Structures are given as structure tokens and as C-alpha cells.
């Protein structure tokens, strides 16, 4: 029969690995199931993670995280979970390769940023094409920046990027602009140029974007693209278990990363947090602490902590002895 783990973490990205380190160090039997597509892999130099003044590759952060989690006895397997069901005291998960059982479940499955619908720019992702101003605004200071999109968020992105560079253009890529009057007024007030032409091609060399080429002969020289097409939240497992989602599809959690379903937790970009590595790591740690406390309380209620202690004593054959102080002799 399949073993029942104390905790199963679905997703071995930043949030999942951080949780695994905490749970391993709390001496919990934790299994991380990961399909291997963390977004962190896309970032060649993470500059905003505490403790790396010269930056660190996202891939290296993940590799070190896995080594650290395994050092504390967390198990990590490669699989993709397809479905999940709740039983009275555990969850059953079915992956492409195997089935798993866990008393507590942490969903740290992340999201997918939709890339712009422009051919041939995939290789520029993380080098000269970005999704996140908080991660990448600083590195494009003073450069020529195109914001691709058609809605209010696109306009606000363009306005916020003015803090980093005076040279910002909005490109709707042939789509109808859907921003409201206020946003249109801001575009005018700040004299941000708008191109409504369809992008035919992107001129780039060695992952560095050089220009956008529009249908017809027009083109515009730029250095960086930011895109605001939206995200897909990997929330299917939480949905299947009946957890509440917000209107965007993010899994609702409380401060301890508890979802609305008992024994089910969520952390990282699949929750309403700002999608940043250090926040995902913090949320993973917070979820792990809450899960550990939850299991502790359960072990007190079921007396399994007592049995666990007896097993340890059996193994070591030692019982802590309390030594009484010897009575002092009275001086004559």
C-alpha cells in the first residue's frame, strides 16, 4: 500500500523548497513532488534576493534549495500531479507516474506568465523581455522600453516605468486599446507615445532586443520589452478540493497560508501574494510552520507523540534521569 506521508508539497519551486527545508528541520516526513518547470529558471541573474549582492542565477537558487532540503531529509521526486481527492484524514494524489498519500497538503504550484503574441522572442525572456517591474525595472534604468498591452494595467505599467526611464512607449500590437478615459488622459499628460500597429517581427541579437518591426515598413528602436498579458494560475488541485479562489484564480489563504479547506495549505505565486521569489520563500516557510504546529497538536490529541517518544527511548535505551542535589553537611 502507498505510504502516508505527514506532508506532501506539490511544487518544488521557491515556495515548495523553502517549506521542505523548514519541514525537514522540524523532523517531519515530507515529500516534494515537482514537475520541474519553476519560473525561477528563467531568471539568469536574480538581483533582489537577500544575501546575494552580485545576484544569483534562478537555476542555482533552485539547485541549492533542493540540496538544502535533501540535507534535512526531505524527499523530492519528479512527477506531475493530475488529480487529488480528500479522505477523512489524508489526501490521495495521482500523478503521471505514481499515486501518493499525505496527511497535510501544501500546494506551491506557481503560475505561468503569458508571453506576448510576438513570434521569435522566447529566447529574450529574462534577458531583454520581462514581466515584472519590481524584479527588472532597476536593470533597465535610462533605456528605451516598450510596454506591450492594451488595458489600464498596461498604461499604469508605462507610467510606473517612467521612474526608471524617460523613454517609454506603449504598443498595442494591432489590438484595440481598452484603457478607460482616466488612463487615456494620463497617457496624454505624460506624453507617452502609443503605437497601435501590429508587430511583424522583433530584431534581436544574442538575446538583446534591438527594434520592433511593424506591419508595413515602420519600426522603433528599443532595448527592452515588458508585457502585461496576464497570468495562468496553477490552481486546479485546490479547485478540485473545493478551496475558494479569488476572481483572478488565486488560491485564498489566511496569514498562516491555510486555504478554506481543512489540512490544505497554499504558498507562493498561486496565492494572492506579489509574485516575487523572496515572498514565495517566506510564504513557504510560514506554511511549513503552520503545518508543523497543526501536526503537533494532532499528535497531542491522538497521543501519537507519546508513542513516538517511547519508540525513541527503545532505540536509545536511555531515559533522562533527574539527579537530586546531595544534602550539604552542616559546618560545626
Site of interaction with ligand FAD (CB under 6 A): 10-16, 33-40, 42-43, 46, 48, 80-81, 108-110, 113, 125-126, 131-132, 135, 234, 268-269, 275-278, 280
Q: Minimum Å distance from CB 233 to ligand FAD? A: 10
The CA R_g of the chain, rounded to the nearest whole Å, is: 26
Q: Which is nearer to ligand FAD, 139 or 185 (CB)?
A: 139
Query: Which segments of the chain does DSSP mark as H helices, in order?
Result: 14-25, 58-71, 133-136, 152-161, 181-189, 236-240, 277-302, 304-316
Alpha carbons 321 and 93: distance in angstroms, whole number: 45
Q: Which is nearer to ligand FAD, 146 or 187 (CB)?
A: 146
Q: Which is nearer to ligand FAD, 110 or 149 (CB)?
A: 110
Q: Minimum Å distance from CB 62 to ligand FAD? A: 7
Q: Are 209 and 223 in contact (CB under 8 A)?
A: yes
Q: Minimum Å distance from CB 158 to ligand FAD? A: 19
Q: Which is nearer to ligand FAD, 16 or 116 (CB)?
A: 16
Q: Are strands 91-95 and 99-107 parallel, antiparallel or unpaired?
A: antiparallel
Contacts of 77 (CB under 8 A, 6+ apart): 31, 32, 33, 34, 98
Q: Are 111 and 127 in contact (CB under 8 A)?
A: no
Residue with cell 499515486: 99
Q: Minimum Å distance from CB 85 to ligand FAD? A: 14
Q: Minimum Å distance from CB 125 to ligand FAD? A: 5
Residue in the shown chain whose Cβ atom is closest to ligand FAD: 13
Q: Minimum Å distance from CB 46 to ligand FAD? A: 4
The length of the chain, given as a count of residues: 332
Q: Which is nearer to ligand FAD, 16 or 102 (CB)?
A: 16
Alpha carbons 18 and 62: distance in angstroms, whole number: 10
Q: Minimum Å distance from CB 84 to ligand FAD? A: 9
The 8-class DSSP code of residue 52 comes to -
Q: Are 149 and 157 in contact (CB under 8 A)?
A: yes
Q: Which is nearer to ligand FAD, 30 or 194 (CB)?
A: 30
Contacts of 313 (CB under 8 A, 6+ apart): 319
Q: Which is nearer to ligand FAD, 11 or 195 (CB)?
A: 11
Q: Minimum Å distance from CB 95 to ligand FAD? A: 7
Residue with cell 495521482: 94
Query: SS3 of 124, please?
Result: helix
Q: Which is nearer to ligand FAD, 31 or 187 (CB)?
A: 31
Alpha carbons 197 and 189: distance in angstroms, whole number: 22
Alpha carbons 18 and 287: distance in angstroms, whole number: 10
Q: Minimum Å distance from CB 234 to ligand FAD? A: 5
Q: Which is nearer to ligand FAD, 17 or 194 (CB)?
A: 17
Residue with cell 513570434: 119
Amino acid at each position: 500500500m502507498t505510504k502516508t506521508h505527514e506532508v506532501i508539497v506539490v511544487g518544488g519551486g521557491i515556495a515548495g523548497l523553502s517549506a521542505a527545508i523548514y519541514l525537514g528541520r522540524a523532523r517531519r516526513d515530507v515529500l516534494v513532488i515537482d514537475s520541474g518547470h519553476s519560473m525561477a529558471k528563467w531568471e539568469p541573474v536574480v538581483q533582489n534576493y537577500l544575501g546575494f549582492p552580485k545576484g544569483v542565477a534562478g537555476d542555482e537558487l533552485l539547485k541549492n534549495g533542493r540540496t538544502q532540503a535533501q540535507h534535512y531529509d526531505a524527499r523530492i521526486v519528479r512527477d506531475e500531479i493530475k488529480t487529488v481527492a480528500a479522505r477523512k484524514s489524508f489526501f490521495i494524489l495521482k500523478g503521471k507516474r505514481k499515486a501518493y498519500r499525505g496527511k497535510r497538503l501544501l500546494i506551491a504550484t506557481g503560475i505561468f506568465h503569458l508571453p506576448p503574441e510576438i513570434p521569435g522572442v522566447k529566447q529574450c525572456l529574462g534577458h531583454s523581455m520581462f514581466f515584472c517591474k519590481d524584479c527588472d525595472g532597476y536593470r533597465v534604468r535610462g533605456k528605451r522600453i516598450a510596454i506591450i498591452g492594451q488595458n489600464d494595467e498596461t498604461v499604469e505599467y508605462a507610467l510606473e516605468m517612467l521612474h526608471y526611464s524617460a523613454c517609454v512607449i506603449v504598443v498595442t500590437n494591432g489590438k484595440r486599446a481598452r484603457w478607460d478615459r482616466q488612463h487615456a488622459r494620463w497617457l496624454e499628460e505624460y506624453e507617452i507615445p502609443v503605437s497601435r500597429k501590429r508587430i511583424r517581427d522583433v530584431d534581436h541579437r544574442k538575446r538583446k532586443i534591438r527594434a520592433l518591426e511593424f506591419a508595413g515598413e515602420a519600426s522603433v528602436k528599443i532595448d527592452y520589452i515588458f508585457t502585461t498579458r496576464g497570468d495562468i494560475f496553477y490552481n486546479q488541485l485546490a479547485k478540485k478540493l473545493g478551496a475558494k479562489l479569488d476572481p483572478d484564480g488565486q488560491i485564498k489563504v489566511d496569514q498562516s497560508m491555510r486555504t478554506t479547506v481543512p489540512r490544505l495549505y497554499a504558498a507562493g505565486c498561486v496565492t494572492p501574494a506579489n509574485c516575487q521569489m523572496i515572498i514565495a520563500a517566506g510564504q513557504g516557510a510560514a506554511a511549513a510552520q503552520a503545518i508543523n504546529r497543526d501536526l503537533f497538536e494532532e499528535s497531542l490529541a491522538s497521543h501519537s507523540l507519546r508513542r513516538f517518544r517511547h519508540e525513541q527511548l527503545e532505540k536509545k535505551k536511555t531515559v533522562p534521569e533527574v539527579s537530586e542535589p546531595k544534602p550539604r553537611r552542616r559546618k560545626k
